[in-house]
Amino acid sequence: MKFFLDTAKVEEIRAATELGICDGVTTNPTLIMKSGRSQEEVVKEIAQIVRGPVSVEVIAEDAPGMVKEAEEFSAWASNIVIKVPMTKEGMKAVRILSEKGIKTNVTLVFSATQALIAAKAGATYISPFVGRLDDVSSDGMELIEQIMDILDNYEFETELIVASVRDPIHVVEAARLGAHIATIPAGVLEKMWNHPLTDKGIAQFLEDYEKSKKE
Ligand code: E4P
Protein backbone atom coordinates (compact mmCIF):
# COMPACT_ATOMS: atom_id res chain seq x y z
CA MET A 1 0.00 0.00 0.00
CA LYS A 2 1.28 3.43 -0.88
CA PHE A 3 1.00 6.51 1.32
CA PHE A 4 0.51 9.85 -0.40
CA LEU A 5 0.60 13.12 1.55
CA ASP A 6 -2.57 15.19 1.13
CA THR A 7 -1.00 18.62 1.48
CA ALA A 8 0.76 21.42 -0.38
CA LYS A 9 2.97 22.37 2.58
CA VAL A 10 6.57 21.54 1.66
CA GLU A 11 7.73 21.26 5.27
CA GLU A 12 5.18 18.46 5.88
CA ILE A 13 6.27 16.72 2.67
CA ARG A 14 9.97 17.00 3.54
CA ALA A 15 9.36 15.52 7.02
CA ALA A 16 7.45 12.51 5.65
CA THR A 17 10.00 12.02 2.85
CA GLU A 18 12.86 11.91 5.37
CA LEU A 19 10.98 9.14 7.19
CA GLY A 20 10.62 7.25 3.90
CA ILE A 21 6.81 7.19 4.03
CA CYS A 22 5.84 9.61 1.27
CA ASP A 23 5.15 7.76 -1.98
CA GLY A 24 3.43 10.73 -3.62
CA VAL A 25 1.45 13.92 -3.00
CA THR A 26 -2.07 15.10 -3.76
CA THR A 27 -3.06 18.76 -3.85
CA ASN A 28 -6.28 20.61 -4.58
CA PRO A 29 -7.10 24.35 -4.80
CA THR A 30 -7.94 24.48 -1.06
CA LEU A 31 -4.62 22.89 -0.08
CA ILE A 32 -2.73 25.24 -2.43
CA MET A 33 -4.51 28.20 -0.81
CA LYS A 34 -3.52 26.92 2.66
CA SER A 35 0.15 26.74 1.55
CA GLY A 36 0.06 30.51 0.98
CA ARG A 37 2.02 30.15 -2.27
CA SER A 38 1.20 30.12 -5.97
CA GLN A 39 0.26 26.73 -7.43
CA GLU A 40 3.05 26.74 -9.99
CA GLU A 41 5.77 27.69 -7.52
CA VAL A 42 4.78 25.25 -4.79
CA VAL A 43 4.02 22.30 -7.10
CA LYS A 44 7.36 22.65 -8.88
CA GLU A 45 9.11 22.50 -5.49
CA ILE A 46 7.04 19.50 -4.31
CA ALA A 47 7.77 17.63 -7.54
CA GLN A 48 11.50 17.98 -6.82
CA ILE A 49 11.21 16.71 -3.23
CA VAL A 50 9.04 13.69 -4.07
CA ARG A 51 9.95 11.01 -6.61
CA GLY A 52 6.37 9.68 -6.84
CA PRO A 53 3.29 11.20 -8.46
CA VAL A 54 2.20 14.74 -7.56
CA SER A 55 -1.45 15.52 -8.36
CA VAL A 56 -2.41 19.04 -9.49
CA GLU A 57 -6.04 19.95 -10.12
CA VAL A 58 -7.40 21.70 -13.21
CA ILE A 59 -9.79 24.63 -12.82
CA ALA A 60 -11.34 24.74 -16.32
CA GLU A 61 -14.83 23.26 -16.57
CA ASP A 62 -14.74 22.26 -20.25
CA ALA A 63 -12.65 19.46 -21.74
CA PRO A 64 -10.53 21.62 -24.09
CA GLY A 65 -9.71 23.97 -21.22
CA MET A 66 -8.80 21.05 -18.95
CA VAL A 67 -6.53 19.53 -21.60
CA LYS A 68 -4.81 22.90 -22.11
CA GLU A 69 -4.16 23.27 -18.36
CA ALA A 70 -3.03 19.63 -18.16
CA GLU A 71 -0.45 20.16 -20.90
CA GLU A 72 0.84 23.27 -19.12
CA PHE A 73 1.08 21.54 -15.70
CA SER A 74 2.69 18.41 -17.18
CA ALA A 75 5.60 20.52 -18.45
CA TRP A 76 6.49 21.49 -14.84
CA ALA A 77 7.95 18.05 -13.98
CA SER A 78 7.88 14.43 -15.15
CA ASN A 79 5.94 13.20 -12.08
CA ILE A 80 2.94 15.52 -12.43
CA VAL A 81 -0.51 13.86 -12.45
CA ILE A 82 -3.53 15.85 -13.59
CA LYS A 83 -6.47 15.91 -11.20
CA VAL A 84 -9.75 16.10 -13.11
CA PRO A 85 -13.22 16.44 -11.55
CA MET A 86 -15.80 13.68 -12.07
CA THR A 87 -17.94 15.43 -14.69
CA LYS A 88 -18.85 14.58 -18.30
CA GLU A 89 -16.37 17.20 -19.55
CA GLY A 90 -13.82 15.80 -17.11
CA MET A 91 -14.21 12.28 -18.53
CA LYS A 92 -13.81 13.62 -22.09
CA ALA A 93 -10.57 15.24 -20.94
CA VAL A 94 -9.38 12.04 -19.21
CA ARG A 95 -9.87 10.07 -22.43
CA ILE A 96 -7.85 12.62 -24.42
CA LEU A 97 -5.11 12.86 -21.77
CA SER A 98 -4.90 9.08 -21.52
CA GLU A 99 -4.30 8.88 -25.30
CA LYS A 100 -1.59 11.53 -24.94
CA GLY A 101 0.10 9.47 -22.19
CA ILE A 102 -0.66 12.08 -19.48
CA LYS A 103 -1.57 10.53 -16.12
CA THR A 104 -4.87 11.51 -14.49
CA ASN A 105 -6.48 11.37 -11.06
CA VAL A 106 -10.27 11.62 -11.16
CA THR A 107 -11.38 13.51 -8.08
CA LEU A 108 -14.64 14.14 -6.22
CA VAL A 109 -15.79 10.54 -6.70
CA PHE A 110 -18.74 9.67 -4.45
CA SER A 111 -20.31 6.57 -6.05
CA ALA A 112 -19.37 3.24 -7.58
CA THR A 113 -20.91 4.21 -10.93
CA GLN A 114 -18.73 7.32 -11.09
CA ALA A 115 -15.67 5.17 -10.33
CA LEU A 116 -16.60 2.69 -13.06
CA ILE A 117 -17.06 5.47 -15.63
CA ALA A 118 -13.69 7.02 -14.66
CA ALA A 119 -11.92 3.66 -14.96
CA LYS A 120 -13.49 3.08 -18.39
CA ALA A 121 -12.35 6.55 -19.48
CA GLY A 122 -8.77 5.45 -18.75
CA ALA A 123 -8.09 7.23 -15.45
CA THR A 124 -4.74 6.36 -13.91
CA TYR A 125 -6.15 6.99 -10.42
CA ILE A 126 -9.60 7.55 -8.93
CA SER A 127 -10.14 9.35 -5.64
CA PRO A 128 -13.28 8.49 -3.67
CA PHE A 129 -13.74 10.90 -0.74
CA VAL A 130 -14.51 8.77 2.33
CA GLY A 131 -14.56 11.53 4.98
CA ARG A 132 -17.02 13.71 3.08
CA LEU A 133 -19.34 10.70 2.65
CA ASP A 134 -19.14 9.92 6.38
CA ASP A 135 -20.04 13.60 6.98
CA VAL A 136 -23.40 13.10 5.25
CA SER A 137 -24.19 9.83 7.07
CA SER A 138 -23.05 7.56 4.22
CA ASP A 139 -20.45 4.84 4.71
CA GLY A 140 -17.29 5.99 2.92
CA MET A 141 -15.46 2.71 3.44
CA GLU A 142 -18.35 0.70 2.01
CA LEU A 143 -17.80 2.62 -1.23
CA ILE A 144 -14.12 1.65 -1.19
CA GLU A 145 -15.11 -2.01 -0.85
CA GLN A 146 -17.51 -1.73 -3.82
CA ILE A 147 -14.96 0.00 -6.05
CA MET A 148 -12.18 -2.47 -5.20
CA ASP A 149 -14.51 -5.34 -6.16
CA ILE A 150 -15.30 -3.65 -9.48
CA LEU A 151 -11.65 -2.92 -10.30
CA ASP A 152 -10.68 -6.52 -9.47
CA ASN A 153 -13.56 -8.05 -11.47
CA TYR A 154 -12.42 -6.41 -14.69
CA GLU A 155 -8.67 -6.11 -14.09
CA PHE A 156 -8.68 -2.34 -14.69
CA GLU A 157 -5.23 -0.81 -14.34
CA THR A 158 -6.76 2.18 -12.55
CA GLU A 159 -5.53 2.53 -8.97
CA LEU A 160 -7.76 3.63 -6.12
CA ILE A 161 -6.66 6.50 -3.88
CA VAL A 162 -8.65 6.65 -0.64
CA ALA A 163 -9.11 10.42 -0.21
CA SER A 164 -10.67 12.73 2.36
CA VAL A 165 -9.03 10.64 5.08
CA ARG A 166 -9.88 11.97 8.54
CA ASP A 167 -8.34 9.49 10.99
CA PRO A 168 -6.01 6.48 11.26
CA ILE A 169 -8.95 4.04 11.21
CA HIS A 170 -9.72 5.14 7.63
CA VAL A 171 -6.16 4.09 6.71
CA VAL A 172 -6.44 0.73 8.51
CA GLU A 173 -9.76 -0.04 6.84
CA ALA A 174 -8.38 1.02 3.45
CA ALA A 175 -5.43 -1.35 3.91
CA ARG A 176 -7.71 -4.23 4.96
CA LEU A 177 -9.72 -3.72 1.77
CA GLY A 178 -6.56 -3.76 -0.34
CA ALA A 179 -6.86 -0.14 -1.53
CA HIS A 180 -3.78 0.73 -3.56
CA ILE A 181 -3.15 4.13 -1.98
CA ALA A 182 -4.37 6.36 0.86
CA THR A 183 -3.73 10.08 0.64
CA ILE A 184 -3.23 11.22 4.20
CA PRO A 185 -3.11 14.66 5.85
CA ALA A 186 0.08 15.23 7.90
CA GLY A 187 -1.94 15.40 11.15
CA VAL A 188 -3.42 11.94 10.58
CA LEU A 189 -0.02 10.52 9.59
CA GLU A 190 1.41 11.80 12.89
CA LYS A 191 -1.33 10.00 14.84
CA MET A 192 -0.48 6.74 13.05
CA TRP A 193 2.96 6.66 14.69
CA ASN A 194 1.89 7.22 18.24
CA HIS A 195 0.86 4.82 20.97
CA PRO A 196 0.94 5.65 24.71
CA LEU A 197 2.14 2.12 25.54
CA THR A 198 5.18 2.61 23.27
CA ASP A 199 6.07 5.85 25.13
CA LYS A 200 5.47 4.19 28.50
CA GLY A 201 7.55 1.16 27.49
CA ILE A 202 10.51 3.31 26.37
CA ALA A 203 10.40 5.35 29.60
CA GLN A 204 10.36 2.15 31.66
CA PHE A 205 13.30 0.60 29.77
CA LEU A 206 15.37 3.79 30.14
CA GLU A 207 14.61 3.91 33.86
CA ASP A 208 15.57 0.26 34.32
CA TYR A 209 18.74 0.71 32.27
CA GLU A 210 19.82 3.56 34.57
CA LYS A 211 19.04 1.40 37.63
CA SER A 212 21.04 -1.55 36.21
CA LYS A 213 24.12 0.70 35.80
CA LYS A 214 24.02 1.62 39.47
CA GLU A 215 23.69 -1.96 40.74
C1 E4P B 1 -7.48 14.51 -2.16
O2 E4P B 1 -7.27 14.18 -3.30
C3 E4P B 1 -8.63 15.35 -1.78
O4 E4P B 1 -8.56 16.57 -2.42
C5 E4P B 1 -8.69 15.51 -0.29
O6 E4P B 1 -8.40 14.27 0.32
C7 E4P B 1 -10.00 16.08 0.19
O8 E4P B 1 -10.04 16.01 1.59
P9 E4P B 1 -11.11 16.82 2.47
O10 E4P B 1 -12.45 16.20 2.28
O11 E4P B 1 -10.62 16.67 3.88
O12 E4P B 1 -11.07 18.24 1.98
Residue 213 binned pLDDT confidence (cut-offs 50, 70, 90): confident
* Ligand 1 centroid, distance to 164 Cα (angstroms): 4
Average pLDDT over residues 137-153: 97
Residue with CA nearest ligand 1 atom 1? 163
Residue 95 binned pLDDT confidence (cut-offs 50, 70, 90): very high
Q: Is 143 exposed, middle or buried (0-12, 13-18, 19+ CB in 10 A)?
A: buried
Q: Is 9 among the catalytic positions?
A: no
What pLDDT shows up at residue 214? 78
| Calpha distance 84→106 (Å, rounded) | 5
| Calpha distance 186→83 (Å, rounded) | 20
Atom of ligand 1 nearest to the CA of 105: 2
Average pLDDT over residues 123-131: 98
* Ligand 1 centroid, distance to 113 Cα (angstroms): 20
Across all residues in the chain, what is the average pLDDT?
97
pLDDT at 215 over 80: no
pTM, entire model: 0.95
Cβ–ligand 1 distance for 7 under 6 Å, the answer no
Atom of ligand 1 nearest to the CA of 83: 2
Atom of ligand 1 nearest to the CA of 166: 11
Strand residues in the chain grouped as ranges (E): 2-6, 24-26, 54-57, 80-85, 104-109, 125-128, 159-162, 181-184
Q: DSSP 3-state assignment of 64?
A: helix
pLDDT tens, 27-61? 999 999 999 999 999 999 999 999 999 999 999 99
Nearest to 83 by CA among 31, 15, 35, 133: 31
Q: Which amino acid is at 107?
A: T
| Calpha distance 163→143 (Å, rounded) | 12
